């Protein structure tokens, strides 16, 4: 694993199963020969820092500074691999924590209420944010602020099945001007499987967080479980944060946090992104929010190729992956 090369190896049971290990074997056994599929990411869109790919709307200097970012005990972090329900969880957290969001008396974009730790695109002074500060992040476990690894603050980590993540990332790349767009879905899939996308390898990210859970004060959720029972997820989050809401308030959170209602809420749906970042003629930030949409996109051969690369590795994870709403692995 590229992270392991930085002196941060994963636990033994998953260390040898990363995207970077045996990558040559995958390429050799694959019927796909087009060199475009394994091209290095363009420096116009991404850079690598300590084995991890970032979008260019941040900098090496800012990312490096996060190691010493001062954490308050009241801080809350939403950590995910991209396209795993981050914006949804941001909205849920905002509704839980802020009465003004629940009752509609405050009109604040979710990105202002819960900014991105590594992508400070509005140049906010994070030290002056109101308590509790809430941040979103795609960082791997080993690039987090040091104090978080000492169990200060709280982290909510959300996982989503990687086939749906891939499909969502593909559509996302067409919509976002700051994300490198592949010529076709197959190219995107090969790059995703090789970990040559923003946030690098899905498996490395998930395995790293689960493998180092004991280092953090952390709650693990899955996108699919949230879809199946949103109310239970809201209650878990409230319990984890020590936030007491009335039954009426809980129902308000659940009602407003459904994907359908969130898409209609301009505070929550990222529709206010600048035109230089998002091409709104090509889609919306929030698309379907479903489970199993990969079946509408991937051919049988592509699904088998995906399974060939990741299935054995996924079996080493301490979670079950839900591929559609009616079947679990």
Residue 303 belongs to domain with CATH number: 3.40.50.300
In degrees and rounded to multiples of 5, residue 77 shows phi and psi of -125, 135
Structural domains in the chain (count)? 1
> Is the model's pLDDT at 52 over the cut of 90?
yes
> Is the model's pLDDT at 326 over the cut of 70?
no
> Is the model's pLDDT at 37 over the cut of 80?
no
pLDDT for 242 equals 96
pLDDT for 236 equals 98
pLDDT band at residue 211 under the 50/70/90 scheme: very high
For the purposes of burial, counting CB atoms within 10 Å of the CB of 145, is it exposed (0-12), middle (13-18) or buried (19 or more)? buried
pLDDT for 199 equals 96
Domain limits at 260?
4-328
> Is the model's pLDDT at 12 over the cut of 50?
no
pLDDT for 286 equals 53
The mean pLDDT of 83-111, rounded to a whole number, is 88
pLDDT band at residue 258 under the 50/70/90 scheme: confident
Of 101, 138, 171, 205, which one is the catalytic site residue? Answer: 138
pLDDT band at residue 80 under the 50/70/90 scheme: very high
pLDDT band at residue 283 under the 50/70/90 scheme: low
Distance CA(92)–CA(205), nearest Å, equals: 23
Q: CA dist 168 to 19, 63, 68, 247, Å?
A: 20, 25, 33, 34
The mean pLDDT of 208-232, rounded to a whole number, is 96
Q: Are strands 327-328 and 322-324 parallel, antiparallel or unpaired?
A: antiparallel
* Least confident residue range of 48-57, 183-192, 268-277: 268-277
> Is the model's pLDDT at 306 over the cut of 90?
yes
pLDDT for 245 equals 96
Residue 111 region, left (φ>0) first, then alpha (ψ -120 to 50), else beta?
alpha
Distance CA(97)–CA(245), nearest Å, equals: 9
Instruction: Decide if 138 is catalytic.
Output: yes
Closest by CA to 188, choosing from 205, 203, 202, 171, is 171
């Amino acid at each position: 694993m590229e992270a392991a090369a930085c002196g941060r190896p994963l636990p033994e049971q998953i260390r040898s199963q990363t995207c970077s290990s045996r990558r040559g074997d995958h390429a050799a056994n694959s019927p796909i020969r087009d060199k475009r599929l394994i091209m290095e990411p363009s420096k116009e869109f991404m850079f690598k820092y300590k084995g991890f790919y970032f979008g260019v709307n941040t900098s090496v200097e800012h990312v490096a500074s996060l190691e010493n970012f001062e954490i308050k005990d009241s801080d809350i972090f939403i950590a995910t691999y991209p396209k795993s329900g981050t914006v949804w969880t941001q909205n849920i957290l905002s509704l839980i924590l802020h009465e003004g969001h629940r009752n509609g008396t405050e009109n604040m974009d979710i990105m202002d209420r819960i900014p991105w730790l590594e992508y400070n695109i509005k140049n906010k002074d994070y030290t002056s944010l109101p308590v509790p500060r809430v941040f979103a992040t795609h960082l791997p476990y080993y690039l987090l602020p040091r104090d978080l690894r000492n169990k200060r603050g709280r982290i909510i980590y959300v996982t989503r099945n990687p086939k749906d993540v891939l499909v969502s990332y593909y559509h996302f790349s067409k919509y976002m001007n700051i994300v490198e767009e592949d010529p076709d879905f197959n190219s995107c899939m090969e790059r995703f499987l090789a970990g040559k996308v923003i946030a690098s390898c899905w498996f490395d990210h998930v395995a790293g967080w689960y493998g180092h859970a004991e280092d953090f004060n952390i709650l693990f959720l899955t996108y699919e479980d949230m879809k199946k029972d949103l109310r239970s997820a809201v209650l878990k989050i409230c319990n984890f944060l020590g936030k007491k809401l009335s039954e009426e308030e809980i129902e308000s959170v659940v009602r407003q946090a459904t994907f359908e209602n969130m898409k209609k809420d301009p505070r929550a749906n990222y529709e206010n992104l600048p035109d230089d970042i998002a091409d709104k003629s090509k889609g919306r930030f929030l698309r379907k929010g479903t489970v199993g949409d990969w079946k509408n996109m991937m051919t049988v051969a592509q699904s088998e190729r995906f399974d060939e690369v990741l299935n054995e590795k996924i079996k080493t994870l301490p979670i079950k992956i839900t591929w559609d709403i009616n079947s679990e692995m």
